[in-house]
Amino acid sequence: MDLTPFEFLTTLLSIVFIDLILAGDNAIVIGMAAKRLPKETQKKAILYGTFGAILLRIVATVLVVYLLQIPWLLVAGGVILLWIAYKLLVQEEDHENIKAGSTLWASVWTIIVADAAMGLDNVIAVAGAAQGHTLLVIIGLIISIPIVVWGSTLFIKLLSKFPWIIYAGSAVLAYTASKMITHEPAWKTWFEENQVVKWLVIAIAVVAVLGAGLWTNEWKKKHPQAAHE
């Protein structure tokens, strides 16, 4: 399916935004893996490690783009992405198992392996947003490389200062997930013929994810002891 210039641009912006909103873990992994190295070597470890991680992620995402063309996998991917959108709002990440490397290549390897292990959410989200367009995946991730390498720390500070960005990101993920579900070939034609139902499904998905996230966060504030058990 060909995209209009407007659709191409908005889809590309969605991919870049998804990469950014899910880049917090990348920044933490990069920082922890390279922290033991001398400053001049740290830059190399960050650059090589991130390049390797992004290359692996491009391959994985392109693979998932093709896998999502298998019947009903689009629905499965959409449901998983709805869960990821919810977890983005409520999850407290634990990075204690990320060990700092003592040599350049040990740190590079740690960055690549840790990113691969933690990057499933990003892969599914970007593959879903790309709507089967491999070129968009590659362009979006290439644009994200300098942001992840040099801007992740700044973005994490922005997230702390403006918590609504996380909710905007979660809404984008929920929107992408619901579009994946409604684009499933088995019922895509029906949804296209019933646009009101299609947009109702998308709206319900976004509101449900944001509502569940807000409720969980409020519950955690009121029951901090139970939340950490």
Q: What is the pLDDT of residues 39-70, one digit of tens each?
A: 777 777 777 777 787 788 788 888 888 888 88
Mean pLDDT of the chain: 78
Pick from 191, 193, 213, 212: which is nearest to 202 by CA?
191
Check whether 211 has a pLDDT greater than 90. Answer: yes
CB-based contacts of 196: which residues, under 8 Å, 6+ apart? none
What is the pLDDT at residue 196? 94
Cα torsion for 152, 155, 160, 164, to the nearest 10°?
A: -130
Q: Give the domain extent around 194.
A: 5-227
Report whether pLDDT(82) > 80.
Answer: yes
The structural domain count of the chain equals 1
Average pLDDT over residues 138-163: 69
CA–CA separation, 71 and 184 (whole Å): 7
Stated pTM of the model = 0.73
* For range 153-166, the mean pLDDT: 71
How many Å apart are CA 167 and CA 224, to the nearest integer? 21
Q: Residue 63 contacts by C-beta under 8 Å, 6 or more apart in sequence? A: none
- Contact (CB, 8 A) for 104 and 44: yes
- Are 64 and 176 contacting, i.e. CB atoms less than 8 angstroms apart? no
End-to-end Cα spacing for the chain: 48
Asked if the model's pLDDT at residue 192 lies above 70, the reply is yes
The pLDDT value given to residue 157: 67
Predicted local distance difference test score (pLDDT) of residue 202: 93
Residue 190: which residues within 8 A CB-CB, separation 6 or more? none
Q: Where are the alpha helices (DSSP H) in 131-194?
A: 134-146, 152-161, 164-182, 188-193
User: What is the predicted pLDDT for the residue at 117?
Assistant: 60
